[in-house]
Amino acid sequence: MLATALGMLLLLSGAGTAWAQTTDDGVEGKTFVIGTDTTFAPFEFREGGELTGIDMDLIRAIAETEGFDVEIRSLGFNAALQALSSNQVDGVIAGMSITDERKQVYDFSDPYFESGIQMAVAATDNDIKGYEDLAGKTVVAKTGSEGETYAKSIADQYGFTVTSLDQSATMYESVKSGNAVAVFDDYPVLAYGIAQNNGLKTVTEKVPGGSYGFAVNKGQNTALLAAFNDGLAKLKADGSYDKILDKYLAAPAAAVPTGFGDLVVRSFPALMKGLANTMVVTGISFVVAMALGLIAGFMKISRNIVLRGIATTFVNIFRGTPILVWAFFFYFGLAQLIGQPVNIWVAGVLTLSLNGGAYIAEIVRGAIQTVDPGQLEASRSLGLGYGKSMQKVVVPQAFKIMTPSLINQLIIMLKDSSLLLAIGFAELLYQGQQIYAANFRVTETLFIVGAIYFVAIMALTKLANYADRKFNK
């Protein structure tokens, strides 16, 4: 019931809201937020930390020709589409195929690239030669992609299972590691990866299919769409379009294998930026969570039933629901409800602090109740009132009791902050994903990321324990 009501509200507000440019008042001088995939080389990928690729060059060249600015958000394919639906971005360019289903909800530009689906297997695999060999096996495809739709459409016929993943890099990794036997992806992307020695080979003919288009939300950003088409036509006319394609497709340079040390050195700047974001978002969220948790914790032991009820409801809701649900809700859902894009920091802090606050409330309540009731009685028999007794006798002891649990909670929050990568928050693991999405060195990159988390958490624990010893003695 509540869910239906909320759904209706979302729909209604979604239909009525259009804070992005909706009218044809031109694009000149404006900045548009454009969502894209994490990695879909040669269309979008990172080189030396910078986003490049055919899509990136195209949108930037068009923006320059048409006199507008773009701010690119590397979100992942499915997340980019969700961000577009909830107007968190103005447009999406992500090697996105123009399909009939998508045309119901998005408006597409003129097509700018012909594509189609193909299947690839591990280069070392000699068993899978066609769809017939897939019976009883698992294949991977990207969540929300045309490749996924195609794989699912023939899955029953050939008797295989489709597992959906969010990123090209993890899809390829699962095939190489043997968790899946094949991947369904767009052929230009597979071809490019194979030329780069990504450890795969194609075994079937490509399925001719969708062309790529730039997308905006249906009926919105019409000026931006018109400018894209106009700019694309100009780039085609003056030869820049062909130049962009040639730059990436003519002779894709094979990746030069480099050592682990080199990977560490090269990925360090981006990872440190990620670590800084992780620390800051955790720090702010912890402060807010402490405030919430203290208030709710005291409300829980209050003698007022209403206050107790409110606090219990708060704790139950946020302890009883996954963090990721709230991250999506605050970033995508809330934006539709209020008709305003929600800043990613605000969404991140809300998510972490409400969840953390619920746990801290329980820590606070537990600690206060752990203080020997005799302490309160003794203090009151000495003539102090209830409030003063709490403040001077019970709470100081409770603080000592709760400190280790609070340190624990801080560490949990730091680790949980990695979930925010799902909404495109540029924290440590997100940066790691961006790196392996580009170089396909998943294991080594994750090892570096894990080591950084470990060192950061060890340092934080040492610091917190030191503070605990200093202030709680």
Residues that bind ligand GLN (CB under 6 A): 37, 40, 77, 94-97, 115, 142, 145-146, 186
Minimum gap (Å) between residue 43 Cβ and ligand GLN: 7
> 458: buried, middle or exposed (CB in 10 Å: 19+, 13-18, 0-12)?
exposed
Closest to ligand GLN by CB, 151 vs 295, is: 151
Identify residue 367 by its one-letter amino acid code.
Answer: A
Tokens of 353: 């602090």
Please state, in angstroms and rounded to a whole number, the distance separating the CA atoms of residues 136 and 125: 16
**Min separation Cβ 120 and ligand GLN, Å:** 14
Cα 98–chain centre separation? 24
Of 54 and 452, CB closest to ligand GLN: 54
Please say which residue, 37 or 57, places its beta carbon nearer to ligand GLN.
37
Q: Which is nearer to ligand GLN, 125 or 146 (CB)?
A: 146
Nearer to ligand GLN, 37 or 90 (CB): 37
Q: Which is nearer to ligand GLN, 74 or 379 (CB)?
A: 74
Considering only CA atoms, which of 171, 168, 187 is closest in space to residue 179? Answer: 171
Minimum Å gap between C-beta 165 and ligand GLN is 11
CA distances for 57 relative to 34, 51, 62, 196, 239, angstroms: 13, 9, 8, 20, 14
Residue 70 DSSP one-character state: E
CB of 185 to ligand GLN, least distance (A): 7
Separation of alpha carbons 437 and 429, rounded Å: 12
Provide the minimum distance between the beta carbon of 97 and ligand GLN in the complex, in angstroms, as a whole number.
4
The CB density around residue 143, as the number of other CB atoms within 10 Å, is: 16
For 79-145, give the DSSP string: HHHHHHHTTSSSEE-SS-B--HHHHHHEEE-S--EEEEEEEEEETT--S--SGGGGTT-EEEEETTS
Nearer to ligand GLN, 356 or 424 (CB): 424
| Residue-wise DSSP of 208-251 | EEEEE--EEETTS-HHHHHHHHHHHHHHHHTTHHHHHHHHHHTS
CB 403 within 8 A of CB 370: no
Nearest approach, Cβ of residue 149 and ligand GLN (Å):
7
Is residue 216 a contact partner of residue 224, using CB atoms and an 8 Å limit? yes
Which C-beta is closer to ligand GLN: that of 94 or that of 363?
A: 94
Shortest spacing between CB 289 and ligand GLN, in angstroms: 36
CB of 55 to ligand GLN, least distance (A): 9
Whether residue 439 contacts residue 259, with contact meaning beta carbons closer than 8 Å, is answered with: no
Q: d(Cα 193, Cα 124) in Å, to the nearest integer?
A: 15
- Please report how close the Cβ of residue 456 comes to ligand GLN at its closest, in angstroms: 32
**Cβ closest to ligand GLN, residue 206 vs residue 234:** 206
